Amino acid sequence: MELTHFNKSGRAQMVDVSEKNPTVRQAVAMARISMNRETLGLIQGGAIGKGDVLAVAQVAGIGAAKRTWELIPMCHPIPLTGVDIAFTIEQSPPAIAVTATVSTSYVTGVEMEALTAATTAALTIYDMCKAVQKDMVIGDVLLVEKTGGKSGDYRRDV
């Protein structure tokens, strides 16, 4: 596999995608934030003092997907056509799984946007709940699937 993020001098570069044709692309990523039962109950009951935790995390994840190119140095600004953030409450062990689905019709993929969205939503849950629990753990950040583009489709069994 040829590494394209290096120029002739061996220095990092942003890949030139100007010759590529736009295709429909989608990526799904997830992150999980583990917490104790009491914190999960407060989230579910709408009893966290900062507000509706999942609503704020959803907006944060969407915003993060849109701004990924500002955070990750070699990412291109991508015109996103869709971003969805979904939450799955897990009772045992207590956790919230965040799933981000990002779509575009463009010349490069949206894997980094999906990963950034899922991670930022999990970080937002942490921020909103840290007053009641500081030892929450964010983990299991992974690309679930991607479709479109030259490298083809990818699907992880989760």
Residue 57: its H or E element: helix 53-66
The Cα 13–Cα 116 span in angstroms is 21
84, 127, 153, 157: which is the annotated catalytic residue? 127
CA atoms within 13 A on the CB side of 9: 3
In the three-class reduction of DSSP (H, G, I as helix; E, B as strand; rest coil), residue 82 is classed as: strand
> DSSP letter string over 99-152?
EEEEEEEESS--HHHHHHHHHHHHHHHHHHHTTT-S--EEEEEEEEEEE-STT-
Verify whether residue 16 is a known catalytic residue: no
Question: Which residue in this structure is represented by tokens 């009641």?
Answer: 132
Q: Would you name the residues annotated as active-site residues?
A: 127
